[in-house]
A and B are shown apart, each in its own frame.
Chain A
Amino acid sequence: MYNYVVRRVGFMAVTLFFVTLIAFAVTNILPGDVALLILGPNATEQSLEALQSQLGLNRPLYVQYIDWVVGLIQGNMGESLRFGEPVAQLIAERLPRSLMLAFAATFIAVVLSVPLGVYAAINQNEAPDVTASMFAFVGISMPIFLWGLVFILVFAVWLNLFPTGGYVSPSEDLVGSLTRLALPAGAMGFALTAYIMRMTRSSMLEVLSEEYINLARAKGMSQRVIVLRHALKNAIIPVITVIAFQFSYAFGGVVVLEEVFFWPGIGKLTLTAIQSRDIPLIQGCIVVVALIYMFSNFAADLLYAYFDPRIRYGGDD
């Protein structure tokens, strides 16, 4: 277990190194001079140069990179050109909102899809299975933002159950915050359900045909015990990967959905940063989103170890 965790952390460090490298390279290779962007097209050669040296842009690239990375490690991500505020502060403000949305969506998806997948598997090729599969396919066959619009139309406009969008901090108004969270999280969760459900179903089917399930039946165990105690704990292991992947995907989907629901999260921030060529902010957003991806996968790896004793006890001797 110790080795396992150490190795995963090692992989994360290496991945992070490449992410910073790419984030830095891409934003520096892209056309457009930061100084020019700040000062506008009418700036003089001299003032441009002065600003460049002030920002350190005339130093060799590797020095700039090292500088940036050292800053990152210290929690200093530079200053946003557009907002004139520290990037770290901008992100710190918006990240929790996006995380809240992504977590809520993943939670809704898991709560819906795992029981559905199990139910479909134990009724293989019968009505419940077919219905659940159809439901899942409908969910997966439309892009997330479209589900957002459908949810707004049905639950906000027609049924008038929830507000159409906006964000309220849960610390200010918990109920208001949750009612505003409901629609975007529901739409995204619904879209994520399909894949997790299909995976749960096929994983359950595989496990249910294992010899140890046969033996459990031969021991006189009831169907309920067999499904919940013997099968699910085995079947959930591959599903965890999918859930982690879907969480990352939800985080990506956030960009569009935040637009639709006026949700001031990291997605909207990234979009603004790109539109305004706010290079420090773009870099900051890339690194943070990459970190989220990595941590969700790391969490999946740890969950594996929790569910699978062969990993937990393997490799540390």
Chain B
Amino acid sequence: MSAHTTATESEQSDGPLLDVRGLKTEFRTDSGPIVASNEVSFSLDRGETMGLVGESGAGKSVTARSVMRLIDSPGEITGGQVVFNGEDLLQKSDAEMRDIRGNRIAMIPQDPMSSLNPVMTVGEQIIETIRRHQDVSKSEARELAIESMDDVGIPDAAERIDDYPHEFSGGMRQRVLVAIGFSCEPDLIIADEPTTALDVTTQAKILDLLNEMQEREGTAVLMITHNLGVVAQTCDHVGVMYAGNLVETAELGDLFARPRHPYTRALIDSIPEVDTDYDELPTLDGAMPDLGSLPSGCNFAPRCPHATEACRTGGDPTLDSVGDTTSRAACIHADSLDLSESTVPEVGVGRSDIDRSGEPLFEVHNLKKYFSAGDGVFGNVHLSFGDGGLPTIERRYVKAVDDVSFDVYPGETVGLVGESGCGKSTVARTALRLLEPTEGEVFFEGQPLHELGSTEVRSLRREMQMIFQDPQSSLNPRKTVGQIVGRAMEKHDIATGEEKRERVGDLLERVGLSRNAASKYPHEFSGGQQQRVAIAHALAVEPKLIVCDEPVSALDVSVQAQILNLLNEIQADENISYLFISHNIGVIRHICDRVAVMYLGKIAEFGNIDDVFSPPFHPYTESLLSAVPHANPNRETDRILLEGSVPSPINPPSGCPFQTRCPKKIGDVCETEFPELEAMDQSGHFISCHLSEAEMSERESFITPPKRTETNAADSD
């Protein structure tokens, strides 16, 4: 069947564009089949956007791939129908399916870095799609490809078409993927976490682009994401998946205002929002069950606060309409439960006041870390030919951290936030002397860390621990948890023998694991539990400072909330300080007392969390905060979209590092003079910008009064 006839038929059929009925996809494993997508049913109309949300392993990607029949062995679609344009795709031959893929149904994948073929030019990759499905000549296809690159906002498309993927930034590559997706004007786009791998300012631009393309082409979108903020910004209706089941479908507004399934409620509540304050995030205990050993009743019952005996024994509930609403939920109590109220405590904190009258625990002065840019013939030494024709030798550096100063007081959490490549992780590593600083001073309890020898630094490490993003790679897989945690105690002479065992047990309980976890190996735990082990390991030596480098970025939101709460509790009990690195603004907002916003190795803004999130804003902070998608469909933020991408730290811009992209650039002064950090008031709020305070205060605060203000916020906008 040619592409053309499919397109004509699509205009004739009047049912929904996509009608998935009882779709079941199983994976054969050694321990029997696993149902990754269990009797999933939903439908999608032309031009509509449906979100499919859930945590990792919920089955959303498998469901989407099943729609395109892209399930690899040992997976297999074992039941149901996928009716697209009135025809069941599961009955099509492989050749017919290939004519549909990329043509009527296209995919926009998650990771722009790995989804483009590195040895083919982006042009080749777009053109081959066009020529596969359209009867056009090579040169016509090339014209069409340039046009589609233009459409997705790639500058100088005609010149860049012959470039290779590695010559594009992450955001631009994602645009190329969008161009490929839309190149044959499909009826349906399946976007599988299209912005998850991107920085927040880039994410905002790509979401806008998707919306714009969709409106122009009238394409329907199935948006797979774990990010409820993205859902709230883009979708018309939403399906929530849990352990292979679709547990709720609803119109977007209803989903957030009146969720019908307890899991949906919990999912919404566990996201730390930028605009709200809370003592503690409401959490779900435990994690999603392993698909190989599902509970006998409702899959969610073991974690559900509303579960009754009937839930645990009655079998897995089916997805049914709730009362006379358009929502459907797989919950036997859906009709009687009222989940419209958030379980988040009504009154916002009470952030504990930090006593900053004494000496800071940790001080960093003018820290610099330059890496040599070793890409030339002679490493980082470059010959450059000046005007006179004489070669001059210069050394080139990547200025990863360039003159950064901040301090951390006892019991305080200081955040470092910024997009990838801004140098936030390097700051932490250099400050702890895991990397040798190029310049600058670091004091811990008044001791000059930058002057100490390596043995002295090592003994000070006891006071300063680190937690990393990926617990799986930071925990030794050949040691038991007991050995991992216990060894740190032995190394620093804290406890040995029976006492050590006792303390390890106590610690494991402290971080929410059972005592007998000590005899297990790291791989026997889930990601969240592994992060708990990493926290126990850090706490084992009774440190005063823990550096947390993206500690929750790899975790699902419900588990993320558990870990954030745990970190907060531990801080309250032990008066530990945290240096907390994250790209997630909501998480930073939730956990930090003060925060430094970094851009290109420098601090753009520093201050109390509320001050940074309120005017005056550094223009970069302002655009960063405005780009965060809120998990609240009623909330419209006036987003500032930054032009271009972050400049190379080898050749940083002159003057202010942000001047090349700054929407509020004044003029020459920004290009010639570096703006020093300047105090805005007495509370320690610093901004590095030439603008006047009034000019930086045009926008309202990103913080709204505590929770339950959704309707108010909508009114005032």
Show the binding face of A for B, using Cβ within 8 Å: 3, 6-7, 10, 210-212, 214-222, 225, 229-230, 233-234, 307-310, 313-315, 317
- Asked whether A219 and B101 contact (CB < 8 A) given A211-B109, A310-B164, A313-B164, the answer is yes
Partner of A221, one of B116, B118, B128, B167: B128
Interface of B is mostly: loop
- Asked whether A218 and B114 contact (CB < 8 A) given A7-B377, A313-B167, the answer is no
Q: A309 to B167: give the CA distance in the assembly, Å.
A: 10
Q: A233 to B124: give the CA distance in the assembly, Å.
A: 14
Q: A210 to B115: give the CA distance in the assembly, Å.
A: 8
Whether A214 pairs with B70 at a CB distance below 8 angstroms is yes
Partner of A218, one of B70, B121, B164: B70
Partner of A10, one of B100, B164, B166, B377: B377
Partner of A309, one of B101, B115, B164: B164
- Asked whether A215 and B107 contact (CB < 8 A) given A234-B119, A315-B375, the answer is yes
Interface residues of B in 138-194 (CB under 8 A from A): 164, 166-167, 177, 180
Q: A217 to B164: give the CA distance in the assembly, Å.
A: 20
Q: Is B99 an interface residue (CB 8 A)?
A: yes
- List residues of chain A with CB within 8 A of the CB of B107: 215, 218
- List residues of chain B with CB within 8 A of the CB of A225: 128
Query: Which residue from chain A places its CB closest to the CB of B177 in the assembled complex?
Result: A215
Whether A309 pairs with B129 at a CB distance below 8 angstroms is no
Query: Which residue from chain A places its CB closest to the CB of B73 in the assembled complex?
Result: A124
Known: A214-B109, A214-B115, A313-B167. 14 other contacts (CB 8 A): A211-B109, A215-B107, A215-B116, A218-B70, A219-B128, A220-B98, A221-B98, A221-B128, A221-B132, A233-B120, A308-B118, A308-B119, A309-B164, A314-B375
Whether B70 pairs with A307 at a CB distance below 8 angstroms is no
Task: Identify 14 residue pairs between A and B in the complex whose beta-carbon atoms are under 8 Å apart, listed by A's number.
Answer: A7-B377, A211-B111, A212-B116, A214-B109, A215-B115, A215-B180, A217-B101, A220-B101, A233-B120, A308-B118, A310-B164, A313-B166, A313-B167, A315-B375
Partner of A6, one of B118, B166, B377: B377
Show the binding face of B for A, using Cβ within 8 Å: 68, 70, 98-103, 106-107, 109-111, 114-121, 128-129, 132-133, 164, 166-167, 177, 180, 375-377
Whether B129 pairs with A211 at a CB distance below 8 angstroms is no
Q: A212 to B118: give the CA distance in the assembly, Å.
A: 9
- List residues of chain B with CB within 8 A of the CB of A212: 114-118
- List residues of chain B with CB within 8 A of the CB of A218: 68, 70, 101-102, 106-107, 109
Whether A234 pairs with B102 at a CB distance below 8 angstroms is no
- Asked whether A220 and B117 contact (CB < 8 A) given A211-B109, A214-B109, the answer is no
- Asked whether A309 and B377 contact (CB < 8 A) given A218-B101, A219-B101, A220-B133, the answer is no
Determine which residue in B110, B117, B180 has the highest number of CB atoms from chain A within 10 A of its CB, and name it: B117
Q: A315 to B373: give the CA distance in the assembly, Å.
A: 10
- List residues of chain B with CB within 8 A of the CB of A10: 377
Whether A234 pairs with B118 at a CB distance below 8 angstroms is yes
- List residues of chain A with CB within 8 A of the CB of B164: 309-310, 313
Whether A220 pairs with B99 at a CB distance below 8 angstroms is yes
Query: Which residue from chain B places its CB closest to the CB of A7 in the assembled complex?
Result: B377
Whether B377 pairs with A220 at a CB distance below 8 angstroms is no
Query: Which residue from chain B places its CB closest to the CB of A207 in the assembled complex?
Result: B117
Q: A61 to B20: give the CA distance in the assembly, Å.
A: 85
Partner of A234, one of B101, B111, B117, B180: B117
Whether B70 pairs with A217 at a CB distance below 8 angstroms is yes
Determine which residue in A6, A214, A229 has the highest number of CB atoms from chain B within 10 A of its CB, and name it: A214
CB distance from B648 to the nearest CB of A (A): 10
Q: A63 to B200: give the CA distance in the assembly, Å.
A: 67
Whether B68 pairs with A309 at a CB distance below 8 angstroms is no
- Asked whether A3 and B118 contact (CB < 8 A) given A218-B106, A313-B164, the answer is no
CB distance from A184 to the nearest CB of B (A): 36
- List residues of chain A with CB within 8 A of the CB of B167: 313
- List residues of chain B with CB within 8 A of the CB of A233: 119-120
Whether B115 pairs with A211 at a CB distance below 8 angstroms is yes
Whether B118 pairs with A315 at a CB distance below 8 angstroms is no
Q: A309 to B128: give the CA distance in the assembly, Å.
A: 19
Q: A317 to B377: give the CA distance in the assembly, Å.
A: 11
Whether A310 pairs with B166 at a CB distance below 8 angstroms is yes
- List residues of chain B with CB within 8 A of the CB of A7: 377
- List residues of chain A with CB within 8 A of the CB of B119: 233-234, 307-309
Determine which residue in B100, B103, B167, B375 has the highest number of CB atoms from chain A within 10 A of its CB, and name it: B375
CB distance from B489 to the nearest CB of A (A): 41
Whether A220 pairs with B114 at a CB distance below 8 angstroms is no
- List residues of chain A with CB within 8 A of the CB of B111: 211
Whether A3 pairs with B70 at a CB distance below 8 angstroms is no
- List residues of chain B with CB within 8 A of the CB of A308: 118-119
Determine which residue in A3, A219, A225, A229 has the highest number of CB atoms from chain B within 10 A of its CB, and name it: A219
Q: A309 to B117: give the CA distance in the assembly, Å.
A: 11
Query: Which residue from chain B places its CB closest to the CB of A10 in the assembled complex?
Result: B377
Closest 7 CB pairs of A and B: A219-B102, A220-B102, A220-B101, A218-B107, A211-B114, A309-B164, A212-B117
Q: A225 to B101: give the CA distance in the assembly, Å.
A: 15
Q: A214 to B117: give the CA distance in the assembly, Å.
A: 10
- List residues of chain B with CB within 8 A of the CB of A219: 101-102, 106, 128-129, 132, 180
Query: Which residue from chain A places its CB closest to the CB of B132 in the assembled complex?
Result: A220
Determine which residue in B102, B106, B121 has the highest number of CB atoms from chain A within 10 A of its CB, and name it: B102
- List residues of chain B with CB within 8 A of the CB of A230: 117, 120
- List residues of chain A with CB within 8 A of the CB of B116: 212, 215
- List residues of chain B with CB within 8 A of the CB of A229: 120, 128
CB distance from A99 to the nearest CB of B (A): 30
Q: A221 to B98: give the CA distance in the assembly, Å.
A: 7
- List residues of chain A with CB within 8 A of the CB of B376: 3, 315
Q: A314 to B128: give the CA distance in the assembly, Å.
A: 26
- List residues of chain B with CB within 8 A of the CB of A309: 118-119, 121, 164, 166
Query: Which residue from chain B places its CB closest to the CB of A222 in the assembled complex?
Result: B98
CB distance from A216 to the nearest CB of B (A): 7
Q: A3 to B116: give the CA distance in the assembly, Å.
A: 26
- List residues of chain B with CB within 8 A of the CB of A3: 375-377
Q: A223 to B98: give the CA distance in the assembly, Å.
A: 10
Q: A146 to B132: give the CA distance in the assembly, Å.
A: 51
Whether A216 pairs with B117 at a CB distance below 8 angstroms is yes
- List residues of chain B with CB within 8 A of the CB of A310: 118, 164, 166
- List residues of chain B with CB within 8 A of the CB of A307: 119
Q: A233 to B128: give the CA distance in the assembly, Å.
A: 16
- List residues of chain B with CB within 8 A of the CB of A214: 70, 109, 115
- List residues of chain A with CB within 8 A of the CB of B118: 212, 234, 308-310
CB distance from A28 to the nearest CB of B (A): 34
- List residues of chain B with CB within 8 A of the CB of A222: 98
Query: Which residue from chain A places its CB closest to the CB of B651 in the assembled complex?
Result: A317
CB distance from A210 to the nearest CB of B (A): 6
CB distance from B120 to the nearest CB of A (A): 7
Q: A310 to B110: give the CA distance in the assembly, Å.
A: 22
- List residues of chain B with CB within 8 A of the CB of A217: 70, 101
Q: A307 to B164: give the CA distance in the assembly, Å.
A: 12
Q: A3 to B98: give the CA distance in the assembly, Å.
A: 43
Q: A217 to B132: give the CA distance in the assembly, Å.
A: 12
Q: A53 to B514: give the CA distance in the assembly, Å.
A: 86
CB distance from A204 to the nearest CB of B (A): 14
- List residues of chain B with CB within 8 A of the CB of A221: 98, 102, 128, 132
CB distance from A246 to the nearest CB of B (A): 23
Whether B375 pairs with A220 at a CB distance below 8 angstroms is no
Query: Which residue from chain A places its CB closest to the CB of B133 in the assembled complex?
Result: A220
CB distance from B406 to the nearest CB of A (A): 34
CB distance from B144 to the nearest CB of A (A): 15
- List residues of chain B with CB within 8 A of the CB of A215: 107, 109, 115-116, 177, 180
- List residues of chain A with CB within 8 A of the CB of B117: 212, 216, 230, 234
- List residues of chain A with CB within 8 A of the CB of B377: 3, 6-7, 10
Query: Which residue from chain A places its CB closest to the CB of B95 in the assembled complex?
Result: A222
CB distance from A100 to the nearest CB of B (A): 32
CB distance from A30 to the nearest CB of B (A): 38
Q: A233 to B121: give the CA distance in the assembly, Å.
A: 13
